[in-house]
Amino acid sequence: MSRARAWALRLTGIAVFLLLWEVVGRIFGEALFAPFSAVIAGFPATVRDYKLFTELAGSFQQLVLGYLLGCAVGMVLGIMMGRSALLDGLLQPWVSMMFVTSIASLVPLFIITFGFGLAFRIAIVFMAAVWYVLLVTYHGARGVSPELLQTARAFEASRLQTFFKVLLPALYPYILAGMRIGLAHAIRAMVIAEMYVIVGFGGVVYNAGVEISTVSLIGALLTIMVVGVALTETLKWLGRKTAPWYDERLQLSN
């Protein structure tokens, strides 16, 4: 399929979707499901009344802390587990356990441990991101070609040199992919934590949700959707731009 045809199809898909939304919205009315036109028309008021962008920016500032911490810890643990059979065996059962643990179930407990403030939100976002980054990095680290490492050894590279000049570049695309998946989960976790204690962007969603009209609620959802897609696409673009050689290998499910 040509690029032009693919884009024509995508645009048609979006147009059909918006049209359907408008029709369904008009049938059900604003209280149940506001039509697209009403959401767009009401968007400036939503932004003003709920300080939407201010709250969102504040939420993301807090998200970044937990997310980057999760990426750093996940990367280091992932590389260590991928390169050491002993550490792999010792950490694997706990990592598998943490990986399936529901973020929402941690929220009431973390409120006791960390309070309602910044530490709580950092901890929740950290727990959401770290295991995905770890898992993807781990798979990458296990898959590093032994020939690469043998070549490094043949050239008498030190362990540090091998790590920075061979292992890290080989892992780079995996780390980026892990960060991308981790980000999606970090955003979800942020909304979970914030809706539970009714602050920040999650608080906006909660408060807009109890209004009679769904215009503000849908406006808020559209906003987080656009931000989420934009950030994920940026990370994807960054990966393709800086590591074009691995694109095909990263057929990881989201």
Of the residues 38, 79, 181, 220, which one makes contact with other proteins according to CB under 8 A: 220
For 70-119, give the secondary structure using H, E and C.
HHHHHHHHHHHHHHCHHHHHHHHHHHHHHHHCCHHHHHHHHHHHHCCCHH
Q: Is 13 in the site for other proteins (CB under 8 A)?
A: yes
- How far, in Å, CA of 142 to CA of 162, rounded? 15
Q: Which amino acid is at 120?
A: F
Write down the least CB distance from residue 246 to other proteins, Å: 16
For the chain, the first-to-last Cα distance in angstroms comes to 24
Among 4, 105, 241, 245, binds other proteins (CB under 8 A): 105
Contacting other proteins (CB under 8 A), which of 23, 24, 27, 31?
A: 31
Among 26, 83, 165, 188, binds other proteins (CB under 8 A): 188
- Name which of 29 and 44 has its Cβ closer to other proteins: 29
Site for other proteins in 153-172 (CB under 8 A): none
**Contact footprint for other proteins (CB under 8 A):** 1, 6, 9-10, 12-14, 16-17, 31-32, 85-86, 88-94, 96-97, 100-109, 111-113, 139, 184, 187-188, 190-192, 195-196, 202, 205-206, 208-210, 214, 217, 220-221, 224-225, 228-229, 232, 251-254
